[in-house]
Structure 1
Amino acid sequence: MSDSLEILLTNDDGIDSTGIRALYDALSERADVTVVAPANDQSACGRSISHEVDVYEHELGYALDGTPADCVVAGLSALTPETVPDLVVAGCNEGANLGEYVLGRSGTISAAVEAAFFDVPAIATSMYVPVGDISFQDVTLEADDFAEATRVTTFLAEHALEAGVFEHAAYLNVNVPIADGEPAPIEITRPSKRYEMDAERDGDRIRLKDRVWESMDPEAIPDPEGTDRRAVTEGRSSVSPLTAPHSTNHHELLAELVTQYHAKIGIGEPDS
């Protein structure tokens, strides 16, 4: 990694989280890192944006009373005025961000997507933390637990730009297992399509539940080979190369409907 590489580092767990400190320490050994991160936990806020936020000096950089998307906009537009960063890194999130349905929900991934609209490559890194029968809120993570996250992220930050990876991908969604001795292999994956949200009513309250996390046993997980969720539960680091904005090809059936609509309202087809 060149000493001149400029990285904007953010997250959604908040600037005082263990995960962002671990990435900051690792990336700062190889690059010029500017931290712009939420002052407080902004998990699952998606790409929510604010019109105005307060900014505070912090030992790592800048803390904003805002969302990860706010942090990327502020970091790329106002807080790094001398040069546009070469790369945005978001994380490391304490908890995995797996599957298609989290792409619009996760604050960590949303920071990477926001960077993509600025045409700045990005890496979103999250760590799968198996909790068993205890609550995730009762898990205490130390810096050493993020060793896999820092190893994979620094490698990708060092080599992906020069290798041309971001000529074909706007951002990389990286999910790693919690550090456990030997380094884990990397698998190039696609986001799982599983979606198992449901809700139940209890009087005047509605309880929403994400049931995907109930089936994380590597011996019985229903996600197919090649998906991010299967890779991580089986002990591999998952890297999904993704694009933004999302788009689709011209669809002939939709074009036919448009033609029918124009005929119905009495206007001709526009010149092609």
Structure 2
Amino acid sequence: MQILLTNDDGIESTGIAVLADALADHGEVTVVAPAEDQSAVGRTLSDRVIVEEHDLGYAVGGTPADCVVAGLGSLCPDADLVVSGCNQGANLGEYTLGRSGTISAAVEASFFDVPAIAVSLYVPGGDIDFREYVAREGEYEEAIRATRHLVTNALGDGIFERADYLNVNAPVPAATDGEHAGMEITYPSDVYQLTAVGDDGDLTLRDRIWQRMADGAIPDPEGTDRRAVFEGHVSVSPLTAPHTTEAHDALSAVAESYGR
């Protein structure tokens, strides 16, 4: 199997290093990742990127979407699968789908008709400052286990005939030795709790859901990605790209009345 591995935390991050090592037993892994941290850039695309060789593979002076285009278009054109991650920090909810660089790399792969798996690590909040925190290798154990399981079992069973990519969120390993998380098929939560706090000239954009999770209470119902991870499960959301909906009579009536 030819695996293209990328991320949005940058090629120097721990998350991509541990996945590169873990997936080496499953096929030939080609790492094509941003030279610098490109978190939350969505599917931003560059006109031109500089590619340099790196100990892991190729460091790209661009975004995760750039890396997928460069990888599938030139550096690893025969890839059977794209894996994006492992991101430090969960990517949960509908509103992250267009913002996350990790997920955007998987979306970009879908336009090449290559199946993809986006993998993120949920680190519980509390006293952790996510701007300073660096997850240790051992904290990726459950994410690695889930990714290897999906790489081994998902490609040959028609799963990607119904989904373009899988959005995977894994918790840090359980405190009890030998206890592993279960895996739950989910859908992205529609809970949205971003706010802008401050005066007119100085606003802080804050996602209140993280504090609610740290406090031990979240509003997301059963079956959602956030609820599953919060309860200690590996969340797997099968998703499609592009995001479309069906035409309906009310909109058709508006179109028919245009120009009359």
**TM-score, length of structure 2 as denominator length:** 0.95
Answering whether residue 65 of structure 2 is matched by residue 65 of structure 1, we say no
Tell me what 1:31 maps to: 27
Structure number, greater radius of gyration: 1
Question: What displacement does 1:242 show?
Answer: 0.3
Question: What displacement does 1:217 show?
Answer: 4.8
Tell me what 1:160 maps to: 154
What SS does the aligned partner of 1:53 have?
A: coil
Separation in 1 of the partners of 2:110 and 2:99? 16
What SS does the aligned partner of 2:229 have?
A: helix
Separation in 1 of the partners of 2:130 and 2:214? 16
Tell me what 1:192 maps to: 189
Question: What displacement does 1:21 show?
Answer: 0.5
* Contact 1:218–1:233 (8 Å) recurs in 2: no
Tell me what 1:89 maps to: 83
* Contact 2:126–2:214 (8 Å) recurs in 1: no
Report the number of matched residues.
257
Amino acid at match of 1:206: L
Question: What displacement does 1:208 show?
Answer: 1.1
Question: What displacement does 1:30 show?
Answer: 1.6
Q: 89, 101, 107: which is aligned to 1:107?
A: 101
What SS does the aligned partner of 2:252 have?
A: helix
Tell me what 2:41 maps to: 45
* Contact 1:131–1:139 (8 Å) recurs in 2: no
Q: 125, 129, 149: which is aligned to 1:131?
A: 125
* Contact 1:177–1:236 (8 Å) recurs in 2: yes
* Contact 2:126–2:215 (8 Å) recurs in 1: no
Question: What displacement does 1:34 show?
Answer: 0.4
Equivalent residue runs for 1:185-264 within 5 Å = 185-202=182-199, 204-217=201-214, 219-262=216-259, 264=260
Question: What displacement does 1:203 show?
Answer: 6.1
What SS does the aligned partner of 1:206 have?
A: strand
How much identity, in percent, do the aligned residues show?
A: 60
* Contact 1:122–1:171 (8 Å) recurs in 2: yes
Amino acid at match of 1:11: N
Question: What displacement does 1:204 show?
Answer: 3.4
Separation in 1 of the partners of 2:223 and 2:258? 42
Tell me what 1:173 maps to: 167
* Contact 2:81–2:116 (8 Å) recurs in 1: yes
What SS does the aligned partner of 2:166 have?
A: strand
**TM-score, length of structure 1 as denominator length:** 0.91
* Contact 2:124–2:214 (8 Å) recurs in 1: no
What SS does the aligned partner of 1:136 have?
A: coil
For residues 2-25 of structure 1, the C-alpha deviation after alignment (integer angstroms, 9 at most, x for no partner) is xxx111000000001000011100
For residues 164-209 of structure 1, the C-alpha deviation after alignment (integer angstroms, 9 at most, x for no partner) is 1000000000000012342100000000101111113446332211
- Does the C-alpha gap of structure 1 residues 218 and 123 become closer, same or farther in structure 2, counting only changes over 3 Å? farther
Gaps of 5+ in 2: none
Amino acid at match of 1:76: L
* Contact 2:125–2:211 (8 Å) recurs in 1: no
* Contact 2:82–2:114 (8 Å) recurs in 1: yes
CA RMSD of aligned residues (A): 1.3
For residues 208-243 of structure 1, the C-alpha deviation after alignment (integer angstroms, 9 at most, x for no partner) is 111121111585221100000010011000000000
Separation in 1 of the partners of 2:180 and 2:256? 57
Amino acid at match of 1:30: H
Runs of 4+ in 1 over 3 A off after TM superposition: 201-204
Separation in 1 of the partners of 2:138 and 2:127? 23
